[in-house]
């Protein structure tokens, strides 16, 4: 009984040691993308330009909302003394401005809007440059994985650790 217990403990030590050796073979790093964007001059310049564009659009939007508010107040004050045709004209004008504001929101600030296109134009090349540097450092320093502490994403991984093909194979096989 004592021999079996000793053999079990010995096997446990060997398995633990082999796990420890395996764990030491994987090299993992991380970056803080917020800090990179805050400290990298090209990123700061691109963000400053984007902020200027966003401010312009926001000012336009606020101007349109102010005009709509003014039209609504004037209409509410004068609708009782307006002729039917004048009232209809003013209602149409207000409705048209509301539609223009909604269109402005979609065209300028929506998911496919001008501000997002501008962001891709200004910030996209900077992000690609950052990504290239992360990959370069990953390869040169033999990192297996590099994570982003802010987003929790893998920014770089040795292709040998990519399990996508195996997962797809198993999924297709199980159909």
User: Tens-of-pLDDT digits for all 175 residues of the chain?
Assistant: 444 433 443 334 344 444 444 556 888 888 888 888 888 889 999 999 999 999 999 999 999 999 999 999 999 999 899 899 999 999 999 999 999 999 999 999 999 999 999 999 999 999 998 888 888 888 888 888 888 878 777 777 777 666 567 667 766 776 5
In this prediction, residue 168 carries a pLDDT of 72
Q: Evaluate whether residue 106 is within a structural domain.
A: yes
In this prediction, residue 174 carries a pLDDT of 60
What is the C-alpha to C-alpha distance for residues 164 and 130, in angstroms, rounded to an integer? 25
Q: Evaluate whether residue 66 is within a structural domain.
A: yes
Q: Evaluate whether residue 74 is within a structural domain.
A: yes
pLDDT tens-digit map of 132-161:
888 888 888 888 888 887 877 777 777 766
In this prediction, residue 22 carries a pLDDT of 52
Please state, in angstroms and as integers, the Cα–Cα distance from residue 109 to each residue in 70, 113, 115, 124, following that order. Answer: 23, 5, 6, 18
Domain range for 60: 41-130
What is the C-alpha to C-alpha distance for residues 129 and 116, in angstroms, rounded to an integer? 19
pLDDT tens-digit map of 119-132:
999 999 999 988 88
Other C-beta atoms closer than 10 Å to the C-beta of 46 total 20
Q: Evaluate whether residue 4 is within a structural domain.
A: no
Q: Evaluate whether residue 32 is within a structural domain.
A: no
Q: Evaluate whether residue 93 is within a structural domain.
A: yes
The Cα angle at residue 158 between residues 156 and 163, in degrees rounded to 5 = 100
In this prediction, residue 27 carries a pLDDT of 85
Report the number of distinct structural domains present in the chain: 1
In this prediction, residue 50 carries a pLDDT of 95
In this prediction, residue 90 carries a pLDDT of 93
Q: Evaluate whether residue 84 is within a structural domain.
A: yes
Residue 32 phi, psi (nearest 5): -110, 100
Q: Evaluate whether residue 27 is within a structural domain.
A: no
């Amino acid at each position: 009984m004592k021999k079996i217990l000793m053999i079990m403990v010995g096997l446990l030590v060997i398995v633990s040691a082999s796990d420890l050796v395996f764990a030491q073979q994987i090299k993992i790093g991380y970056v803080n993308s917020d800090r990179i964007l805050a400290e990298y001059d090209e990123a700061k310049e691109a963000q400053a330009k984007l902020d200027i564009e966003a401010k312009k659009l926001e000012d336009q939007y606020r101007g349109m909302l102010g005009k709509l508010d003014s039209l609504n107040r004037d209409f509410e004050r004068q609708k009782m003394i307006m002729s039917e045709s004048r009232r209809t004209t003013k209602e149409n004008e207000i409705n048209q401005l509301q539609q223009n504001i909604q269109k402005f929101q979609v065209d300028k600030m929506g998911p496919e809007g001008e501000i997002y296109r501008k962001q891709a134009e200004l910030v996209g090349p900077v992000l690609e440059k950052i990504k290239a540097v992360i990959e370069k450092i990953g390869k040169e320093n033999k990192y297996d994985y590099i994570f982003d502490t802010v987003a929790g994403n893998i920014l770089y991984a040795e292709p040998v650790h990519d399990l996508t093909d195996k997962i797809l194979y198993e999924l297709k096989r199980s159909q």
